[in-house]
Amino acid sequence: MQIVHNQRLQSRATLYRSTFLVVWLCMGFLPGLAFAQSPASPAMPPETQVGQISPVILGDDPLLYATVRDSLQYYRDPELTKSVHDIASAPADFQSLSSRHVDFGLTNDRIWLKWEATNTRSKPNIFRIDMKRQYFTELRLFELVEGGEPLLLLDHEQEDPFAQRDIPSRFLLADIPFEPGETKTFLIGFRSSTTTFLPLAVGTVDGVTANHQAELSVDLFLNGMLVAMIVYSLLLMPVIGWRLATSFAAYIGAGAFYVIVADGYPMQTVWPDAAWLNEPMNLASMLSMTALGLNLCRQLFRFDAISPNFDRALIALLGIAALCVPLAFAFIAYEAFFVPAYFLPPLANIFVCLAGVFALRHGRIGALPFLLGAMLVFASLVYATAAHLIPGALDLDATLDFGHIALLGECLAFALAILLRFLSLRRQRDDALAAELEASQEQLKLNERLAASQRDFEEAKSHAEQGQRQLSEMSHDIRQPLMVIKDALARLARFEGAEDKSLGSVVGYLEGIARAQGHDADSVRLPDDEGFELFPVGVLLDNIVELYTDQAHDKGVSIAVHGSGLQIRSHPISLMRVLSNLVDNALSHGEGDKILLAARKRNDGTRIEVWNNGRGLSANKLRRLKARGAKGTNSQGSGLGLHIVERICQELGHSFEFRSQEDTGSVAFIWLSDD
């Protein structure tokens, strides 16, 4: 079973190398590097001659934090058969490390590291060894005791729950007591299915804690910036639309969650008893970020309109990434799944960069910052690939920090792209509104000219029809007198010198018609005192009722008369015009269901009243409607006529008063004196 397990690990390591190799070739960086290493044998750091190395000096600095790399020797056990006793008893097999970092590439070998540390302090002290990794497939830390059995200080396997750690930290730590001047030799044996990178360091408890706190502060700042970007995107929802805003927020959230998972924080707080979740959750969060990034790309530039084939490719990649998210929890242990799954994010990033190029070529606003942000993530992937392909040359621990900063930079660039896109759309909208407003103003001017022309036409038409009616009436009135004149002239022709008395009557009649026609033409002249008569007011009121009976019936309004037996002195036709105007206004604008015409005797005369129980008017509206030419709501005439009514009453010597109360009704009073 151990041999089968080792073969699986060896196969996984080979597939990892193949995956990174393909990504590297796709990116076009260092293509010759693919042939520098044989896929069958993992990469090995350069070797030097075996010799004595200097121990790590543990000095008096209270915040001491020293790397162990310069004091390390290593041994590789590809068969996984040697025990700690075998390794400890064969010091000549160890070699000095010459690479810049402790990284042996993707390999199934068990790596043994040996190093020494000396406490130069004058007092005993506890120093902390920091492995700076969240977990390994397996890791054991021993203290080699001269002439005795190796002392096991730390025993870790990837499936161990977090509660089993002696020091509650997301990193593997071990506290070692030192006596003054004491030198100790340590041996670490470890295997990893992902990477053999080990940034080993040692320092005081306060020094290691300060180092971790500094890293935590940076992580909190970067994640806080990402949270701020999420809030920013949601605040933009009313202006950029909910689809784009939620797509951007979801992408940032998925990216932040991926970095948090990769940093090991959930392993300590969210699932401390489910260590098996670390690898599948890491892959699932990375695939989620990939799918959401592709969706954001489509939402921002709408490739369905500019490049349908490319849009379909984005949809296909998005669907594959989304499908792999739940599968990561079930098939993470199978090489046929996790190798293509780990290949998806860099492939998707290449498509995102191509999307920026397409958008830039089609002149889409915001394409340039979008492309720069995508290239920033592309650069972080290049760095990560190079770190895996050249073990020990680059700091793999910086890969995650680089990715974290690249993600933040990409989100800022994407936010700028969205902002520029929004400003462009708003500018286009403003330009369209300005053009529409200008067109509306031109249309309004045209409509005003057309309305003025229409009014002139209607006025001319009205004058023409009025003149035609007058001519028709005159023709009818003159026809009979002309016949009489004709007969009279015939008789005069037969009897010369004979006087026809009817001829004078006919001529007088025609002169009367002419005078009457002259009075009718003066439509604005008010009557003089000669037209005043003494007559019963009931005749006038009954005529008004008769005149408006049909109109009132159509509107559901009842018209009542009170006090019709009184005698009044006025100009009947002019007073008829006044009352007709008031009743017509009540029917057209009062919106009530009752009108009362009343005549009441008062001490110094008679008061004619016109009541209606309509909606009434406010004081401000009443004051406005008394002005010349004022019109009521939805009025089709030239005005409510209160100005005309007041003027006629003033010319007749009558007093006029109009009262109204909103939601109650209105009443008009006409005071006629007895003189």
- Domain edges within the chain: 1-39, 42-210, 216-428, 531-673
CA–CA distance, 111 with 105 (Å, rounded to integer): 11
pLDDT at residue 493 greater than cutoff 60: no
Selection from 246, 249, 167, 245 nearest residue 212 by Cα: 167
* pLDDT (mean) for 71-85: 90
CATH code for the part of the protein at 216-428? 1.20.1070
Residue type, 433: L
**The pLDDT value given to residue 327:** 92
> pLDDT by residue (tens digit) across 227-274?
888 898 888 888 778 888 898 889 889 988 988 888 888 888 888 888
Cβ neighbours of 275 (radius 10 Å) = 18
Q: Judge residue 644's burial from the number of C-beta atoms within 10 Å of its C-beta, 0-12 exposed, 13-18 middle, 19 or more buried.
A: middle
Identify the pLDDT of residue 362. 86
Dihedral through CA 86, CA 41, CA 103, CA 24, nearest 10? -170
- What does DSSP say about strands 201-204 and 151-157: parallel, antiparallel, or unpaired? unpaired
Nearest to 359 by CA among 420, 294, 307: 307
Q: How far apart are CA 386 and CA 322, in angstroms?
A: 27
**Dist. CA 124–CA 204, nearest whole Å:** 12
| 3-class secondary structure, 148 | coil
Between residues 203 and 629, the one the model is more confident about:
203
Q: Which residue bears the tokens 């302090």?
A: 121
Q: What average pLDDT does range 449-463 have in this prediction?
A: 84
pLDDT at 494: 57
Return left, alpha or beta for 342; rule: phi > 0 is left, psi -120 to 50 is alpha, else beta: alpha
Residues of the chain with pLDDT > 70, as a percent, come to 80
Q: Say which CATH superfamily domain 531-673 falls into.
A: Histidine kinase-like ATPase, C-terminal domain (3.30.565.10)
- Tell me the one-letter amino acid at 282: N
The rounded distance, in Å, linking the Cα atoms of 488 and 480 is: 13
Q: Which residues contact 289 (CB under 8 A, 6 or more apart)?
A: 251, 254, 255, 257, 258, 345
The residue written with tokens 């008017």 in the block is 617
Question: Mean pLDDT for the chain?
Answer: 79
Going by C-alpha positions, the residue among 519, 616, 531 that lies closest to residue 575 is: 531
**Pure H helices in 33-144:** 84-88
- Note the pLDDT tens digit of each residue in 515-541: 444 444 334 344 455 678 888 888 888
CB within 8 Å of 516: residues ≥ 6 apart? none
Report pLDDT digits (tens) over 616-649. 888 788 777 766 656 655 555 544 467 778 888 8
> Letter for the amino acid at 196?
T
- Take residue 179 and report the two structure tokens written for it: 């006596």
Structural domain 42-210, CATH architecture:
Sandwich (2.60)
pLDDT of residue 212: 92
pLDDT at 19 over 70: no
How many other CB atoms are found less than 10 A from the CB of residue 117?
21
Q: Please provide the DSSP assignment of 313-380 as one string.
A: HHHHHHHHHHHHHHHHHHHTT-HHHHHHHHHHHHHHHHHHHHHHHHHHHTT-TTHHHHHHHHHHHHHH
The predicted structure's pLDDT at residue 491: 53
Angle at 291 between CA 237 and CA 226, to 5 degrees: 50
| Residue 6 in this model has a pLDDT that exceeds 80 | no
Q: What is the spatial distance between Cα 436 and Cα 447, in angstroms, rounded to a whole number?
A: 16
**Is residue 33's pLDDT more than 60?**
no
Q: What is the pLDDT of residue 445?
A: 87
For the chain, the first-to-last Cα distance in angstroms comes to 134
